[in-house]
């Protein structure tokens, strides 16, 4: 009986080794890829008009969000527990 159990254990151990080896290969491949492949992280040049528009949109968003954030903050401080 103990012989049958050791066979199942050895198969489980082999599967575990194969999974661990595959994981190690994936990690090694990811490391090699990260080392060798260079990505262009620079932002494309935008015209002055585009930059001004984006600045205006950000300012409008801040002006829109700020009153709501202030109201939420006030409601949180005035709550009673």
pLDDT per residue as tens digits for the range 33-64? 999 988 777 767 889 999 999 999 999 988 88
Please state the domain extents for the chain: 1-42, 44-81
Q: Exposure of 28 by Cβ count < 10 A (0-12 exposed, 13-18 middle, 19+ buried)?
A: exposed
d(CA 40, CA 60) in angstroms, rounded, equals: 31
pLDDT in tens, 3-21: 566 777 899 999 999 999 9
d(CA 74, CA 79) in angstroms, rounded, equals: 9
What pTM was computed for the model? 0.42
d(CA 28, CA 30) in angstroms, rounded, equals: 5
């Amino acid at each position: 009986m103990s012989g049958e159990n050791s066979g199942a254990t050895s198969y489980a151990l082999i599967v575990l080794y194969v999974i661990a080896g595959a994981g190690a290969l994936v990690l090694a491949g990811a490391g090699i890829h990260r080392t060798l492949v260079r990505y262009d992280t620079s932002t494309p040049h935008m015209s002055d008009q585009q930059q001004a528009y984006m600045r205006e949109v950000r300012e409008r968003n801040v002006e829109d969000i700020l009153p709501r954030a202030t109201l939420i903050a006030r409601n949180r401080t005035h709550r009673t527990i």
